[in-house]
Amino acid sequence: MKTIHNTKNCKYRRFLYKKLKHGKISGKFYKFICRNFPYRVTTREVQIAVRMVLDGKMTENKAIATLQGAKAELKYQQELYKSNIECRKKISKTTTPYTKPL
């Protein structure tokens, strides 16, 4: 899924990006989180998994497996993504370009 949040408008993504650049987490783990949780990266499951990986209590592959098991949250994120795309299409059809008044 494509995200509308990035490191400029999301503090938790900025935190994860810093950890990625400092070598604390891998690019695979970072990419998985950003792609599968495009709207709310700060869900409880994600924060717990990231904290355990950073503390060394869990491997990244195991964390990815547990996050894939959180099907309810993943499904919710996908629904948000679909509804956002539908709303953007409706808005782009209904809005007209701005014309300067005479």
Q: What is the mean pLDDT of residues 32-43?
A: 78
Q: Cα 94 to the chain's mean position, in Å?
A: 28
Is 32 a domain residue? yes
Higher pLDDT, 46 or 85: 46
Beta carbons of 4 and 81 less than 8 angstroms apart: no
The predicted pLDDT at position 46 comes to: 86
In a domain, 99, yes or no: no
Mean per-residue pLDDT, 1-27: 81
Tell me if 100 is assigned to some domain. no
Domain membership flag for residue 19: yes
Residue 90 lies in a domain: yes
- Output the DSSP codes for 52-78: HHHHTSS-HHHHHHHHHH-HHHHHHHH
Expressed as residue numbers, the domain containing 78 is 11-94
Q: Which are the contacts of 36, defined by CB distance < 8 A and separation ≥ 6?
A: 1, 67, 68, 74, 77
73 domain residue, yes or no: yes
Tally of domains within the chain: 1
The pLDDT tens digits of the residues spanning 89-98 come to 887 776 666 6
In a domain, 46, yes or no: yes
Residue indicated by tokens 């964390």: 63
pTM of the model: 0.68
